[in-house]
Structure 1
Amino acid sequence: MTTDAPDGTAELSGRGRQNQIYSAGVFGRSPSVPTDFDELERRARRAMTARAWAYIAGGAGRGSTMDANRRALDSWAIVPRVLRDVSTRDISVELFGQRLPAPLLFAPVGAGALVHDDADAHIGRAAAQLGVPYIFSNQGCVPMEKTAQVMDAIRPGSPKWFQLYWSTDDELVYSLVARAEKSGAQAIVVTLDTTMLGWRPQDLNIGSLPFARAEGIDQYTSDPRFMEIVAERVANPVGVRPTVELTIGAVRSLFSMARNVPGSLLRNLVSPTPRTAVQTFLDIYARPSLTWDDVATLRDKTDLPVVLKGILHPDDARKAVEIGVDGVIVSNHGGRQIDGEIASVEALPGVVDAVAGRAKVLVDSGIYSGSDVFTVLALGADAALIGRPHMYGLAINGADGARDVVANIAAEFDLTLGLAGHTSVADLSRDALSYRGCRH
């Protein structure tokens, strides 16, 4: 569905969103994306290639952590209160001094070009139209500066954060942070749970790693420090260049590298730079030796709020607060890193209690609906990150699809809030829920 607003904005209130959809229905127009997650997922799978589906929808191992994320949410029941005036509601929240129209953020998802060309720019457009933050992916397919320009052209000062993967090269780390600051990012989100890739059978079974084809490394190939490292390696190759087996797959990969690295296609096809850039990325993109001292150093080097993504243990939450971190994201990376890991929502109450209001607490992994958002906010989260759903919307209908998916989640949350007898996010507490399940 295309909204009537000239800037492409979508209504976030429940009744307003319903009215948009039903009014369009009078003229025979149905929504651009399904309004329930199950059908959204089915249609997105049909719209995606096998490689895209494996990367976006896949999980670690047998997928038990993804299942646990769903069970943890389903183990809480909403307990409505009645005979309260809920005619006026406010779903806005404040994060780091900025008032947001809904307690939602577009989560960072790498290698988005598997789903849609220039994915990050389209997601940024969707977020800007709604006025909620987009966390730029460190593994994005569009340089952060371009995405920021797209967002600010729609809504000047659009909320935007930057996700940081800590490379083995500290100069590169701080170059990325400096670029994020110049691009108008309002927070740095350090992802802690991917210091190495988890075991992901759906990708492994088809031998597909997007980054090996230069998909999802645009933040790096647009970075002066990274390209300096690449140039040094081209000028001073170490060892013998491996023989490349000439296959159709190898030719496709070569063309992918040539297209996705700056420069002309023809020149890149004969230049060692694209292949060297890919190998450099694979060599340095993550740092398993990362420690609390590194995070403390980052805290001293930037004035932006620092948020740690991947916190699941209360002791880690306490340590984060002790070193001056401004927020934590309770996350198991959407079940993509460890098979058999604790569900994010199961870990959430313990982290909230450990932080005790001294930092913001956000949550992701398996949050697919407005009622899910209600549950995590009642458990103490300040906001929720939406990941796979917005990528599914992107696959189906580009920027409009990504926008409408998140608008639908916000609208359902607004209706759920009112129907449960509450008028604002601040009203919510664990008293709004009843525990009904067994943890597994």
Structure 2
Amino acid sequence: MAPLTLAGIERAARDQLSPEIWDFVEGGSGAERTLAANREMFGRHAFRPRALVDVSVCAPAVDLLGATLQLPVGIAPMAYHRLVHPDGETATARAAGKAGALLVAGIFASRTLEDIAAAATGPLWLQLYWLRRREALAALVERAEAAGYAALLLTVDAPRIGRRLRDLRNGFAVPPEIRAVNLDPALMAASHHAGQGSSGIAEHAREQFDPTLTWADLAWLRERSRLPLVLKGVLTAEDARRAADHGVDAVVVSNHGGRQLDGALPALAALPEVVDALPPHIPALLDGGVRSGADIAVALALGARAVLVGRPAFWGLATGGEAGVGQVLDLLRDELEHTMALLGRPSVADLDRTALAPWPV
């Protein structure tokens, strides 16, 4: 029998992947408090279902930065999809397009930006880290715009990489046959080497990420592209207001999947204050801990325009390539529509904070 929940796909993926790659995908930083809290936070909300509502048709479609998503879900930016399946990002792109979902390709993608764009039939964004070599960033932005990417997403919570203890214990480095093919190999060399008690990912970030990034630097990126700019890693009202003041087009409420500052707010806990601080024309997305369609409904009710899912997409990719990612997205769609129907909220516009109450204790 096919898995009935994402948890079933997760178990199958764990059996499929080597322990060190599983730890790289699944691990968080520090004691992994924030990693666990991202999931647990959804359980603090109860639904307030309404009766005698026509729910014969439930419509989960949303508009986001000029595109219509048939499913209010995006695949979060993740590096090296070929770590878990030889087709890598092109398989993920095909599945996202068929589901009417967004794909955010990572700066460290293991397929070319052009190949990913050719495989995509839905909205496609490019994620960036701020590298010391600005000419490398500028070249990526130019290629993305030429290939038809619809937005740039800048990750802003990684001036340095969190202490990911699983990777340090494993001495994890990216296997030599898996490369970030959109960047100069010399720029990526450190990611392929690690010794005992070190991580190639951390060494590479120390070498290449620019920790001097400030709000003032956003103007440099704006000058080089007409594409909408999204900031990922916003957890406070203060930063939401700063983002709006700097003309950002959307924000992603995210703690990097619990992989950066351990002890940071769970993403769902931060969502309401960020939404309330943004003007209505700037949407917020939620990234972190979504594992069911019911979780998506909670995030939408708290003000998210859409959610990003990361690890579940890798589980699907590992277990079935394109079809596996499609299975993940289909499960999320079915569960979301089911939740909307039983909640008496047949459209995304009907999902607001009146749909929720604190879970009784």
Fold shared by both chains (TM-score > 0.5): yes
Q: Does 1:170 align with 2:134?
A: yes
Distance 1:218 1:111 in 2: 9
Q: Mark the structure with the bigger radius of gyration.
A: 1
Q: Which residue of 1 aligns with 2:288?
A: 365
Q: Does 1:204 align with 2:171?
A: no
Q: Does 1:131 align with 2:100?
A: yes
**Structure 1 counterpart SS, 2:53:** coil
* Correspondence 1:389-404 to 2 at 5 A: 389-404=312-327
Distance 1:340 1:213, change over 3 A: farther
Shift of 1:57: 0.6
TM-score, reference length from structure 2:
0.92
Distance 2:54 2:206 in 1: 58
Distance 2:86 2:38 in 1: 30
Q: Which residue of 1 aligns with 2:197?
A: none
Shift of 1:282: 5.6
Q: Which residue of 1 aligns with 2:39?
A: 70
Q: Which residue of 2 aligns with 1:220?
A: 183
Q: Which residue of 2 aligns with 1:433?
A: 356
- 1:383 maps to a residue whose letter is A
Q: Does 1:294 align with 2:192?
A: no
Q: Which residue of 1 aligns with 2:198?
A: none
Q: Which residue of 1 aligns with 2:299?
A: 376
Structure 1 gaps, min length 5 = 1-29, 234-252, 255-277
Identity of aligned residues (%): 38
Shift of 1:116: 1.2
Shift of 1:374: 0.1
Q: Which residue of 2 aligns with 1:192?
A: 156
Shift of 1:201: 1.0
Aligned with residue 241 of structure 2, among 318, 322, 343: 318
Q: Does 1:40 align with 2:3?
A: no
Q: Deviations over 1:107-138 (max 9, x none)?
A: 11112222112311111111122222210111
Distance 1:405 1:67 in 2: 21
TM-score, reference length from structure 1:
0.76
- 1:215 maps to a residue whose letter is I
Q: Does 1:61 align with 2:24?
A: no
Q: Which residue of 2 aligns with 1:3?
A: none
- 2:54 maps to a residue whose letter is D
* Correspondence 1:322-361 to 2 at 5 A: 322-361=245-284
Distance 1:213 1:36 in 2: 34
Q: Deviations over 1:31-76 (max 9, x none)?
A: 3xx2313222211100111121011111111111011112211111
Aligned with residue 122 of structure 1, among 53, 75, 91: 91
Distance 1:206 1:100 in 2: 39
* Correspondence 1:230-241 to 2 at 5 A: none
- 1:304 maps to a residue whose letter is L
Shift of 1:283: 6.4
Distance 1:213 1:306 in 2: 33
Distance 2:182 2:358 in 1: 43
Shift of 1:195: 2.2
Distance 1:280 1:74 in 2: 36
**Structure 1 counterpart SS, 2:222:** helix
- 2:62 maps to a residue whose letter is V
- 1:423 maps to a residue whose letter is P
- 1:115 maps to a residue whose letter is V
Distance 2:203 2:269 in 1: 38
Shift of 1:143: 1.1
User: RMSD of aligned C-alpha atoms?
Assistant: 2.2
User: CA contact under 8 A between 1:321 and 1:358: conserved in structure 2?
Assistant: no
Q: Which moved more, 1:429-438 or 1:134-143?
A: 429-438
Q: Deviations over 1:10-47 (max 9, x none)?
A: xxxxxxxxxxxxxxxxxxxx33xx23132222111001
* Correspondence 1:266-285 to 2 at 5 A: 284-285=207-208
Q: Does 1:79 align with 2:43?
A: no
User: CA contact under 8 A between 1:47 and 1:396: conserved in structure 2?
Assistant: yes
Structure 1 runs (4+) deviating above 3 angstroms are: 212-216, 278-285
Distance 1:284 1:148, change over 3 A: farther
